[in-house]
Amino acid sequence: MLTKPERLQKGDCVGVIAPGSPTNRENLEKGIAFLESLGLRVKIGRNIYHRYGYLAGADEERLTDLNEMFADPVVKAIFCSNGGYGTARIAADLDYDLIRRNPKIFWGYSDITFLHTSIRQKSGLVTFHGPMLSSDVGKDTWSDVSASSFRQLFNNENVVYDEHIAPIEAPVVGRASGEFVGGNLCLLVTTLGTPYEIETKDKILFIEDIHEEPRSVDRMLNQLWLAGKLQHIAGLAVGDFNDCEPEEGKPTLSLDEVLSYYIKRINRPTLTGLKIGHCQPHIAVPLGTRAVLNANQKQLHIESGIS
């Protein structure tokens, strides 16, 4: 049984950390101002501006910020500044018992996918795949539609995604229900063969990615197939694959051809074109709650992740 964190209220204190790559200070300050505009008080991780090559500080520093935010009873939610790379390096040393004892909102995407998966499967906490403060909120492309996704943290709202947001395709019709899991395709593949290997049986699997050529998307989906992770899913939700174009001048399949091949092979109710991922607007969704994917009506309904 998964645990839903408590909803936010105005005046609550929330934490901000950078568990992967270094953060952009100027963008992060804009993201913090957004959280404050929601009536929240913000506590910044003490190592958030540290740098260690392509990492936001040494593993111990990033791990400390994450564990301290879960341990702090004043902090009601934890928002990631950005993704990049590095979360898998700290997953083995996270205090999952601490997280289980102190369930709270955990929010991010991209490289954060590894932590979403490990936290859900090791501590039973529902987490949130949503826009991040530096890499999304702090940029000029930030969308009011994306901003509205944060309401679900205050109002215990179910997420209902349909074509009022953007056009949806249903390459395989039907209706499926199950736990909603997934995230960034590359990071899902990196869980294979680890103690945090993504569990997909009878679940609705969501995938998205950025800056991957069609052959790379093909390689990753093939690896999930060979690992037995796609044959028994209940349904498939395909989010945004941003800038996943082939290198010019080389023989290639298109991204649509690659995705179509695996969608047909999986043959479960499928929705594609969802604005979830490295895109604007970017609709935030809870991971670990029950969802209904209705490809007949081109609608995705995800149960609230808040108690």
Catalytic center residues: 110, 208, 278
Q: How far apart are CA 188 and CA 186, in angstroms?
A: 6
Radius of gyration of the chain (CA): 18
Q: How far apart are CA 133 and CA 197, in angstroms?
A: 27
Q: How far apart are CA 236 and CA 266, in angstroms?
A: 9
Phi, psi of 201 (to 5 degrees): -60, 125
Q: How far apart are CA 239 and CA 236, in angstroms?
A: 10
* Number of Cβ within a 10 Å radius of residue 35: 18
* CA neighbor of 220 nearest in space, from 234, 235, 205: 205
* CA neighbor of 217 nearest in space, from 194, 239, 193: 239
* Number of Cβ within a 10 Å radius of residue 253: 16
Helix (H) or strand (E) segment spanning residue 204: strand 204-210
Q: Are 20 and 53 in contact (CB under 8 A)?
A: no
* Number of Cβ within a 10 Å radius of residue 265: 12
Q: Are 292 and 175 in contact (CB under 8 A)?
A: yes
β-sheet bridge partners, residue 255: none
